Amino acid sequence: MEANALSLIAQISLGLAGFAGILISLGRGPGRWHPADALRIRLLLINVLGSLFSSVVAVGLEASTLWSAQSERIGAAILLLFILYYLNTTMRGARRIDGASALFNIRILILYRTLAVLAVIAQAIVVLGYGGRAVFLLYFAGLLWGIFYGAFGFVRLVYVR
């Protein structure tokens, strides 16, 4: 059911966040990353932690009889805040880094931002209650955005320089 899917998202998110932590500690160590790599790690963590916290809260609310009907809306609101924070961090961070064009492929950055804006729209629809029967599907699509960015960002950070 829905709680099982959300639990799976939480487990995957926790794994990706853990791998990022291992990468930081065993890689170059904290504070010794290139600013572009540090931004990539920050963006990765924003997305996977957004998926993690949003899905855990929704699962917990689903288990309570008082908030079960509102669990997707509350989870989507939390996820919406994380995605907006991701977009804000992306805009500020990419401007601050010198030589970002060499480290950030502009086409990939545009794709990420486009997908993030679509996820914002989907979560806003859920939060406002206009999703109808597609509420869980829209919410789940936003969670998958966080997982996608986390997994792709991790692989890109480790293997693509």
pLDDT digits (tens, 9 = 90+) for 13-72: 999 988 888 877 766 655 677 777 778 888 899 999 999 999 999 998 888 876 777 888
pTM value is 0.86
- The CA-atom distances, in angstroms, between 17 and each of 20, 75, 90, 120, 150 are 5, 19, 19, 22, 8
By CB neighbour count within 10 A (0-12 exposed, 13-18 middle, 19+ buried), where does 23 fall? middle
The two three-digit tokens of residue 78, written as one number: 């939390």
Residue labelled with tokens 């986390």: 150
pLDDT digits (tens, 9 = 90+) for 123-143: 999 999 998 889 999 999 999
The two three-digit tokens of residue 121, written as one number: 């729209």
Query: Rounded to the nearest 10 degrees, what angle do helices 135-159 and 35-63 cross at?
Result: 150
